[in-house]
């Protein structure tokens, strides 16, 4: 056996590297888990990324996995790897607050399929991470458990709704974390915290045992340091689940095998409409560099027009909103005061949207996807855009509850580029691509045809072979 790595160095590894180190015997599951828990204990006060952690249970699990490994058995590709997840993934008997006061004591009686799959693959679950209340804001504000803060600058938002997942991975507290993405909630914190995050094709990953927000647009997805980690993570959680009849039966390819770095001759589209409206100069400059790097690796960048963007933006703006309003109606009648101001304010408007428009939004989704595929994906394999159009806003600038002037618009603008992708159901990965003049990360997102998760990750991985934005360490980190 090689000499074990020092525990202070373990957290610098990627998820796939630490998994390999554990398999090889260079690191034990207990060492990795202890390092992770110690990092939370030492640094999380500054960024508030965790809602709850189970230290003793996690260490006991890790110890059991180490003993198992000594008998020659490995549970799976994530054997011994500590992970923590957005606090909305149900596990029997464990807390699942959904970031809310309403469910602050909720302990489900069944377990999410994605948790079962991750634990069957050998991961050690540490606890529940901070999140927007009921996954319903794009900034990471949380009145009930405290705002999650960006490890690159604590006055700035983390992005939401998977705020704790983005912050904890960026700060190197954990090697990966589940988020969820209904309008950008994986990609926004990934971009804003400087990590990599993917939402799969709508229906790609089971949602059984996952707190619902919008059954038409909810997606489960990971945030990790690298595209390779995201590929390994998606490999474990993707695929049909009999407990979620909406999950796709589409076979899951070998995502890791697709990451060969070869994008020579690949046609990559850059939209000429919508996604760059009123874009910040610094974000645009970073995105321009992305195009140059992809071209340097042999890709061919070409302009594409995304058809029907007005329709996609309009329909995409109401479908998940109405569905969220529907499932929250009883609590909105009985205990509206238990929601944060910004959330009850947002839910309230959904009761004024006529059903005929909601149904129109659902009915046009298929035809609009077909039109987009015919117009865009016949010309290019993937298309890329900035994940946000703006620099990372501060928590104060987007704080509706605090009454900040202009906060409502700033809040809604955060998800302008991500929300339409959910409506179209496309796979999309956000990748770090620079820093703004405030020292906060910038990201871009890569979209492909339905079930092209492997392809978008391949492009992300090719980009990361040329850059080190995803490896930078924030001021607050382990």
Partner 1 sequence: MTRKLSELVEEQAFTWSGVKPPNMPGVRLAEALESSISGFEALRGLLAFEDEPSSFEAALQATKEVC
Residues that bind partner 1 in the complex, under the rule CB under 8 A: 201-203, 248, 250, 253, 310-311, 313-315, 317-318, 329, 332-333, 336-337, 339, 341-342, 344-346, 348-349, 351-353, 357, 359-360, 362-367, 369-370, 373, 377, 400-401, 408, 425, 448-452, 454-455
CA 63 and chain centroid, separation:
29
Torsion of CA 162, 147, 171, 294, to 10 degrees: 50
CB of 337 to partner 1, least distance (A): 8
Least separation in angstroms between CB 415 and partner 1 = 15
Tell me the β-bridge partners of 196: 224
H or E element, residue 242: none
Whether 44 and 172 have beta carbons less than 8 Å apart is answered as no
Q: Evaluate the CA torsion angle 67, 73, 75, 78 in order and state its sign.
A: positive
Query: Among residues 220 and 311, whose Cβ is nearest to partner 1?
Result: 311
Compare residues 76 and 253 and give the one whose CB is closer to partner 1.
253
* Residue 78 token pair: 């994530």
Return the number of the residue (311 or 440) whose C-beta is nearest partner 1.
311
| DSSP output for 127-159 | EEE--SGGG--SS---TTT----BTTBTTB---
- Cβ distance to partner 1 smaller for residue 252 or 431: 252
Nearest to 365 by CA among 305, 315, 325: 315
- The CA-atom distances, in angstroms, between 30 and each of 11, 20, 37, 57, 73 are 13, 15, 10, 11, 16
Q: Which two tokens stand for residue 470?
A: 């995803």
**Residue among 52 and 348 whose Cβ is closer to partner 1:** 348
70 part of the active site: no
CA dihedral 111, 115, 116, 121 (to 10 degrees): -170
Annotated active-site residue in 123, 163, 185, 477: 185
Smallest distance from partner 1 to CB 314, Å: 3
Give the whole-angstrom CA distance, residue 172 versus residue 221.
18
**Phi–psi pair at 20, nearest 5 degrees:** -65, -40
**CA distance linking residue 332 with residue 351, whole number of Å:** 10
Residue 469 DSSP symbol: G
Smallest distance from partner 1 to CB 363, Å: 4
The token pair at 301 is 């960048």
Q: Please, which residue, 48 or 202, has the CB nearer to partner 1?
A: 202
3-state secondary structure labels for all residues of 247-299: CCCCCCCCCHHHCCCCCCCCEEEEECCCCCCCCCHHHHHHHHHHHHHHHHCCC
- Answer yes or no: 86 catalytic: yes
Smallest separation, CB 373 to partner 1 (Å) = 4
CB closer to partner 1 out of 116 and 399: 399
Q: Write down the least CB distance from residue 375 to partner 1, Å.
A: 11
Q: Which of 7, 36, 86, 458 is catalytic?
A: 86
Of 337 and 437, CB closest to partner 1: 337
CB 271 within 8 A of CB 305: yes
Q: Which residues pair with 446 in a beta bridge?
A: 384, 429
Q: Which of 7, 49, 100, 161 is catalytic?
A: 161
Query: Could you tell me the smallest distance in angstroms from the CB atom of residue 406 to partner 1?
Result: 11
CA–CA distances in Å: residue 359 to residues 136, 323, 407 = 22, 11, 30
CB of 133 to partner 1, least distance (A): 13
Q: Is 67 a catalytic residue?
A: no
**Active site members:** 86, 161, 185
């Amino acid at each position: 056996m090689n000499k074990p790595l020092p525990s202070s160095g373990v957290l610098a590894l990627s998820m796939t590297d630490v998994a390999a180190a554990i398999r090889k015997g260079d690191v034990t599951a207990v060492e990795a888990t202890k390092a992770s828990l110690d990092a939370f204990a030492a640094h999380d006060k500054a960024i508030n990324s965790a809602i709850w952690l189970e230290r003793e249970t996690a260490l006991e699990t890790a110890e059991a996995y180490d003993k198992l490994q000594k008998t020659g058995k490995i549970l799976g590709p994530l054997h011994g790897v500590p992970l923590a997840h957005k606090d909305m993934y149900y596990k029997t008997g464990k807390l699942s607050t959904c970031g809310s006061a309403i469910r602050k004591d909720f302990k489900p009686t069944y377990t999410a399929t994605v948790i079962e799959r991750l634990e069957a693959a050998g991961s050690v679950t540490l606890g529940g991470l901070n999140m927007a209340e009921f996954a319903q804001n794009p900034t990471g504000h949380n009145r009930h458990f405290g705002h999650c803060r960006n490890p690159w600058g604590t006055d700035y938002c983390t992005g939401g709704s998977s705020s704790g997942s983005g912050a904890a991975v960026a700060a190197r507290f954990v090697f990966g974390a589940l988020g969820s993405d209904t309008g950008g909630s994986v990609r926004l914190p990934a971009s804003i915290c400087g990590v990599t995050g993917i939402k799969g094709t709508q229906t790609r990953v089971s949602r059984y045992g996952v707190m619902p927000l919008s059954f038409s647009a909810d997606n489960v997805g990971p945030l990790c340091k690298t595209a390779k980690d995201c590929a390994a993570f998606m490999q474990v959680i993707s695929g049909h689940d009999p407990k979620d009849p909406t999950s796709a039966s589409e076979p899951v390819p070998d995502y890791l095998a697709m990451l060969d770095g070869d994008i020579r001759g690949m046609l990559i589209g850059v939209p000429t409409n919508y996604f760059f409206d009123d874009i910040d100069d610094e974000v645009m400059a970073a995105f321009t560099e992305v195009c140059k790097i992809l071209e340097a690796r042999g890709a061919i960048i070409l302009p594409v027009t995304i058809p029907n963007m007005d329709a996609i933006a309009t329909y995409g703006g109401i479908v998940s909103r109405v569905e969220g309003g529907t499932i929250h109606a009883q609590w909105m009648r009985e205990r509206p005061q238990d929601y944060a101001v910004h959330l009850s304010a947002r839910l309230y408007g959904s009761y004024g949207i006529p059903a005929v428009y909601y149904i129109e939004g659902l009915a046009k989704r298929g035809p609009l996807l077909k039109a987009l595929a015919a117009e865009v994906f016949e010309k290019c394999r993937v298309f890329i855009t900035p994940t946000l159009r703006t620099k990372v806003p501060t928590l104060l600038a987007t704080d509706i509850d605090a009454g900040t002037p202009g906060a409502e618009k700033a809040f809604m603008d955060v998800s302008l580029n991500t929300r339409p992708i959910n409506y179209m159901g496309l796979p999309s990965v956000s990748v770090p691509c620079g820093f703004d003049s405030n020292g906060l990360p910038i990201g871009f997102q890569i979209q492909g045809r339905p079930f092209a998760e492997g392809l978008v990750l391949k492009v992300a991985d090719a980009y990361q072979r040329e850059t080190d934005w995803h490896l930078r360490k924030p001021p607050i980190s382990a």
